[in-house]
Chain A
Amino acid sequence: MRIFWILLKKELHAFFVSPVAYVVLALVMILNGFAFRAALSILESAPSEGSIVTWTFHAMWFWLSYFFIFPLLTMRLFAEEKKLGTLETLFTAPVRAWQVVGSKYLASVIVYCILWIPSLLNFEFAEWISAGAVEVPSGAEQGAYLILVVMGMFNLAVGCFASSLTSNQIVAAILSFTLSLLHFLIGIFIMVVGRKLSDTVVNVVGYFAATEHIRIFTNGLIDSRPLIYYLSLSLLFLSFTHHVVEFRRWRP
């Protein structure tokens, strides 16, 4: 466990001494600013069933940031070490593969969580400035951030896996972007052709759709199924990553 913390410290250090964390943070803050502004203008124009939380996370701007974050945070993790050759130095020290994979992954999850703090403040400030005129339902808020973290964990695990496959960061980024996009497109698929399909199909496919999960959770409904879905998929992709990293040792 000691080794794990040492590695985690080093990984976090790598995020914050390089511009990566700050660039992504700035990007996410800008895009969330737009998303928040879009949500406010919807509420301004007409009465709405959805809260400010719901509209913020339905804005196109939010989804834009969603796609950028994961490749940017994870492309470095293994690809850079492979390129530099430091994976060899790392694995000739007494470390286990799970410690390396786990520390890299956890570091990216921590940075990811930090990214969403400013957007959380948006809601708090809106409530405070408008002296309560803008209502931020706490259930919706908690649900939204819970699903954000869990969806993030899944996408970061996918990104981790993509990075472990190649020594080229661009390839890793594109791969992780594509996998995240495919997952997102399930939701779009329901929206576009949903009416032509039977309800069963729509419901079943809906279980996998990120857009559906966001919709449910931003309305303050905390459903355990998506949580288990994302957490188990995260574990699956992390174990894939572990296998790829360990493959060197088992390769005939």
Chain B
Amino acid sequence: MIDVQNLTKQYAGRIAVNNISFQVEPGQIVGFLGPNGAGKSTTMRILSGYMPATSGSARVAGFDVFQQSLEVRRSVGYMPEMAPLYTDMRVKEYLRFRAELKGLSGHAMRKRVGEVMELTGVNDMRRRLIGNLSKGYRQRVALADALVHQPKLLILDEPTNGLDPVQIRHVRDLLQNLKSKHTVLLSTHILHEVEQTCDRVVMINNGRIRANDTPQNLAAQMRSTTLLHIELDAAGKPAQKLTALPGVRKVAEETPLAQPWRRFTLRIEPGHDVRDAVIELATKQNWRIREMHRQLPTLEDVFVEFALNSGAPSDIPTHIL
């Protein structure tokens, strides 16, 4: 659906996107992640046919974004960042205008506008002036606009920005339902969203792609962040014994709990699972365990690592413990 090859975009001496390549298969929801100014919006603008790349090529639905801009724009539903809308139009009026612009007409247009208003939950607001709508509703009107011509590809630049938690959940469900009909490329800062919604994550920083994988694999790749929290009743120095277990990199004792309970946090090497070994050790040493909890690295951890470091994931210094 999307085929980006060696795409570069320069603004007056500053490189926004630096030689990136990636592909998106039809029917996928792909999350585009990266800190502010990483080049996400620029890439999305190029893909939606708004501006050309400095070099490299991008094809959307088989069309070149520069040479066949009109065809690309017909097959893409784009929702820009901040959801710019004409403030002096009413919701229904605006959506009808946009639907006509995108080639719908007559009864089919009116029916479709009714559908997307229902789908995005702006039906109650259809007679309101867009200028008087709250941020959340404007965002949804922009989403309805992106959907109205049933595009093959949806490009959504921070679609959940400025929404309340209920609305965010609504948008997430909506995207899941759209998956069967549309391919979705969305950018967001809410990593929780990506983990729950996306099939694949493309991480970008300083105009370069840092990672391109499933959210689960990305999290698993992280070497530093698998943690094991244990609360046990043990005399002496259990930390030393725990450190001796294969796969344990470091053990730290947390703030003391009520006697006799003590709490330890273990940092685990990637690819190791030491839970069985810990139980065995405890049985041998006659420790009592009342809690053991493994904390898998979240995408947020990965994201922070990427944002703070420009290097590849393997040479990221550990920051936890």
Q: Which residues of A contact B (CB under 8 A)?
A: 3, 6-7, 10, 13-14, 17-18, 84-86, 88-89, 91-96, 248-252
| Beta-carbon contacts under 8 Å, B57-97 to A | 66, 69-70, 73-74, 76, 78, 80, 82, 84-89, 97
CB–CB B51/A89 < 8 A: no
CB–CB B51/A248 < 8 A: yes
Q: Is B210 an interface residue (CB 8 A)?
A: no
Residues of chain B within 8 A (CB-CB) of A84 are 84-87
Question: Of B100-108, B182-190, B231-239, which binds chain A?
Answer: B100-108
CB–CB B101/A93 < 8 A: yes
Main secondary structure on chain B at its contact with chain A?
Answer: loop
Q: Is B283 an interface residue (CB 8 A)?
A: no
CB–CB B82/A94 < 8 A: no
Q: Is B54 an interface residue (CB 8 A)?
A: yes
CB–CB A86/B85 < 8 A: yes
The 6 closest A-B pairs by CB, nearest first: A85-B84, A92-B78, A94-B73, A92-B48, A86-B84, A93-B101
CA distance A155 to B52 in the complex (A): 32
CB–CB B52/A249 < 8 A: yes
From residue A100, how far is it (CB to closest CB) to chain B in Å?
A: 11
CB–CB B101/A95 < 8 A: yes
CB–CB B101/A88 < 8 A: no
Contact of A6 among B10, B80, B101 (CB under 8 A): B101
Shortest Cβ distance from A248 into B: residue: B51
Q: Which residues of B contact A (CB under 8 A)?
A: 10, 45, 48-52, 54, 66, 69-70, 73-74, 76, 78, 80, 82, 84-89, 97-98, 100-103, 142, 145
Residues of chain B within 8 A (CB-CB) of A248 are 50-51
CB–CB A96/B80 < 8 A: no
Q: A3-B101, A88-B80 are in contact. Are A93 and B86 (CB under 8 A)?
A: no
From residue A129, how far is it (CB to closest CB) to chain B in Å?
A: 40
CA distance A18 to B86 in the complex (A): 12
From residue B42, how far is it (CB to closest CB) to chain A in Å?
A: 12
Residues of chain B within 8 A (CB-CB) of A13 are 89
CA distance A62 to B214 in the complex (A): 69
CB–CB A93/B73 < 8 A: yes
Interface centre among B50, B82, B87 (most CB of A within 10 A): B50
Shortest Cβ distance from B86 into A: residue: A86
Shortest Cβ distance from B45 into A: residue: A88
CA distance A222 to B51 in the complex (A): 46
Shortest Cβ distance from A17 into B: residue: B88
CB–CB B86/A92 < 8 A: no
CB–CB B100/A92 < 8 A: no
CA distance A17 to B86 in the complex (A): 12
CB–CB B73/A92 < 8 A: yes
Contact of B88 among A14, A85, A95 (CB under 8 A): A14
CA distance A42 to B10 in the complex (A): 64
Residues of chain B within 8 A (CB-CB) of A10 are 97
Contact of A92 among B10, B49, B97 (CB under 8 A): B49
Contact of B51 among A3, A7, A93, A249 (CB under 8 A): A249
CB–CB B52/A6 < 8 A: no
CB–CB B80/A89 < 8 A: yes
CB–CB A94/B70 < 8 A: yes
CB–CB B102/A93 < 8 A: yes
Residues of chain A within 8 A (CB-CB) of B98 are 89, 93
Interface centre among A14, A91, A95, A248 (most CB of B within 10 A): A91
